[in-house]
Each structure stands twice: as C-alpha cells, then as structure tokens.
Amino acid sequence: MKVLSLFGTRPEGIKMAPLVQALADAEGVQSIVCTTGQHRQMLDQVLQLFDIRVDHDLDVMLPGQTLNGLFARLMGRVDALLEEVQPDCVLVHGDTSTATACSLAAFHRRIPIGHVEAGLRTGDLSQPFPEEMNRRVVDVMGNWLFAPTLASRANLLQENLQGRIHVTGNTVIDALELALRKLDARPELSASLAARYPWLDASRKLVLVTGHRRENFGAGFQQICAGLARLAQRDDVQIVYPVHLNPQVRNVVIGSLSEHANIYLIDPLDYLDFVWFMRRAYLILTDSGGVQEEAPHLGKPVLVMRDTTERPEAVSAGTVRLVGTDSTRIVQAVGSFIDDAALYQRVARSVNPYGDGQASARIIAALQGRPFVEFNPQSVTAPR
C-alpha cells in the first residue's frame, strides 16, 4: 500500500510526525512524505526534531501569502505530485489550506483520502476562519475519518458521514509524549534549555502566551495586547509570548508591546523548547488549537482567547476556559487564577480527554483494515 502523507504547517507537522514515524516501520506500507512548505521556518524545526525524511517539498510559502494565492499554488503543485507518485491513498491533517487543497486535488483524481483529526466543529463558519470551512469540506471528501474523540465522532454522525469514522485519539498526545520522553531521558537537555533563557524569573508566575488566529486580526489583537500590557504591571507575573511569524500578527504585537520590560516577545519556539515552556508555565493564554489539547495533559490551566472552541472536552473537564479577546476579561481571568490558589488547584489537574499516545497505531490499523480497539478516554489511567 503506497501511502502519501501531505502536510505543511507547524501544527500539522507536529501532529503528523508520530504517524509518519510509525508508517515508516509499518509492514506492507510504502510511506512517502510530502511537505507543501506552507510554513517554512516553523515547520522545518519540527521535521528536524522528529527526524522526518521528506521525499517531496512543494515549497509553496510566500511571505504575506493570501489564502487564494496559497491555495492556487497548492493545487497546481499537488496535482503534479499525485501524477508522479500515483499513491493508493493520501493522508491529510486538520483544517489548513494545505489539507483542503491536497484533499481536493486527490478527490479529483479519485484517490482515497484519510483525514487525521476529523470532525472538529464550532458550528460557526467565521470562527475559526477559514478553518471551520476547511475541516467540513475535507470530511465530506474523506474515505477514512480519524475522529480524535467521541465528540468529534458525534459531529460527523450529525452530518451523515457514518461508515467511515474511526475514533483514534489525537496524534498530538503521541507527539507530546515523544517530546516529554526526550526531555525526561536527557536531563542535560532541560539544563541547556534553562541556560538558553537566563532571563526567566523563578520568583514570578510565568504566563505563556500564543496567538495567531485570522478572526482576531485587527480589533481582537489590539484588545489582546491591551490586556497583556495591563497584566504586565503586576510584579508577581512574567509574560512570555513567542510571536507567530505571520506579519499581520508580528506588526501589531511587536508594535504595541515591545517597550514593556515585563513582556518577553520572542521568536516562535522550537517544539521541544515550547513543551519545556509549557511545563514551566503557571498558566497559558492562547488562541491556538493544539495548545488547548497539550496543556491539559500537562496539568496547566488554559485561558482561550476566542469566543468558541472546537475542542469542548477540556472545557467540560474544567482545565480550559473561554475568555474571548476583551482586555478587561483577560486581565480579570488571569488575575483570578493568580490570586485564588484554591481555584488554581481545582483547575490545574491533569486531565487527558484527547489521547493515550496510541492514535498513530490505530490510524495505521484502520488503513490496513485490521481490527483495533477505539480510543476511550475512560481507559486512560495515567495522565501526566
């Protein structure tokens, strides 16, 4: 079976890495790896960390790329690749332009599609934009829908997509566990990471921030920055924000926050460094999807700077809270976690509704038509 894995952004790289590693060792599988290069620097560090050998690089990224320009470049280059490789199936991930364009190109050529991380929904096409549209379209075309959780399976059933759904857990937990094992196996690695960031102040509570969503561009980011500037006035916190490389994000964030002594704006962190930072953080403020899944596994409270989420599981479990982008609400929410130790202790407990580290193995079994036990969060006995 010739399996072509296609991915291009940082989160896709992280979440496809364990699957690509497992495919390389799977009997009866010829694994071919293609990165579209939708992200250049942010993806390349992931490939290095997970030691992924790339067979094809479509190199589509342009600085400041538009959605339509990106999509058009993707369609042409992926089509030529499919003609050359003639795969038995393609694997795509999530809700990016890469996933959507690659699926559509495969669909036009009647090549079966496996969708990793299928069935996530907010129910609102404008949030996240354009990802909610992307993920729905890919699911309609998919032949194997790898739903990470029971909630994502329920979303797919509501759309009459039964018969092709497999509940696997999310491969992000496979990736996070690989990173944690690497850190734990080599204490000198953590020591060298600590030496890389000598300005970290152990006497202050670390608030780790990420933000990049298109629907927050403009007023949303201005509010987020205003909230961070107010939070930075507290002398019991230290704010660290690895700023996404998108110029629409960087211009606003660096323009409005670079003068604050208590806000450390740094370049996007390599995945291992970011995992190390998440572990060290007191709490995390984010609009990222993947971070909402990883932080609960590490027992870190997450405040999500969005009005809706496609990841309701950790919200129900209590470790993730939606706070939107209003600056006052952000300041109050972070303040309540810092000032109320009992609240913090209630929320900062390890729950892991997203996976057990076996998602990649289940996906490969499903592709090969072998029986396997679906992911059941009740059976996760030892979250971190």
Q: Interface with ligand UD1 by CB under 6 A: which residues?
A: 9-11, 38-42, 63-65, 67, 70, 95-97, 130-131, 212, 245-247
Query: Which residues, including other chains, have CB under 8 Å from residue 372's CB and lie 6 or more apart?
Result: 361, 362, 365, 366
Q: Which residues bind ligand UDP (CB under 6 A)?
A: 10-11, 14, 210, 212, 242, 268-269, 271, 274, 288-291, 294
Tokens of 373: 């036990």
Q: How far is 271 from 302, CA to CA, in rounded Å?
A: 18
Neighbours of 184 (CB within 10 A): 10
Active site residue 117: yes
Active site residue 93: no
Q: How far is 381 from 384, CA to CA, in rounded Å?
A: 10
Smallest gap from Cβ 225 to ligand UDP, in A, equals 17
Torsion of CA 204, 301, 228, 220, to 10 degrees: 170
Give the DSSP H/E element, type plus range, for residue 200: none
Which residues are bridge partners to 2 per DSSP? 30
At residue 129, what is the residue type? F
Q: How far is 6 from 87, CA to CA, in rounded Å?
A: 11
Which residues are bridge partners to 327 per DSSP? none
Q: How far is 94 from 101, CA to CA, in rounded Å?
A: 12
What are φ and ψ of residue 62, in 5° steps?
A: -125, 145
| Contact assessment for residue 46 and residue 81, using Cβ atoms and an 8 Å cutoff | no
Q: Which of 12, 131, 139, 294 is catalytic?
A: 131
Smallest gap from Cβ 349 to ligand UD1, in A, equals 27
DSSP string, 103-161: HHHHHHTT--EEEET-----S-TTSSTTHHHHHHHHHHH-SEEEESSHHHHHHHHHTT-
Active site residue 77: no
The interface partner of residue 269, options being ligand UDP, ligand UD1, none and the CB cut-off 5 to 8 Å by kind, is: ligand UDP
| Contact assessment for residue 36 and residue 7, using Cβ atoms and an 8 Å cutoff | yes
Report the residue closest to ligand UDP, judged by CB.
Answer: 288
Which whole-number Å values give the CA distances from 17 to 24, 142, 170, 321, in the listed order?
A: 11, 20, 12, 28
Active site residue 131: yes
Give the DSSP H/E element, type plus range, for residue 80: helix 67-85
Smallest gap from Cβ 269 to ligand UD1, in A, equals 13
Tokens of 62: 């342009």
For residues 38 and 360, which CB has a smaller minimum distance to ligand UD1 in the complex?
A: 38
Smallest gap from Cβ 230 to ligand UD1, in A, equals 26
Q: Which of 40, 164, 204, 214 is catalytic?
A: 214
Q: Which of 12, 56, 77, 117 is catalytic?
A: 117
Smallest gap from Cβ 27 to ligand UD1, in A, equals 33
Smallest gap from Cβ 132 to ligand UD1, in A, equals 10
Residue 302: exposed, middle, or buried by beta-carbon count in 10 A (0-12, 13-18, 19+)? buried
Active site residue 260: no
Q: Which of 56, 93, 166, 212 is catalytic?
A: 212
Smallest gap from Cβ 282 to ligand UD1, in A, equals 24
Q: Which of 95, 174, 287, 293 is catalytic?
A: 95
The interface partner of residue 14, options being ligand UDP, ligand UD1, none and the CB cut-off 5 to 8 Å by kind, is: ligand UDP
Active site residue 95: yes
Catalytic (active-site) positions:
95, 117, 131, 212, 214, 244
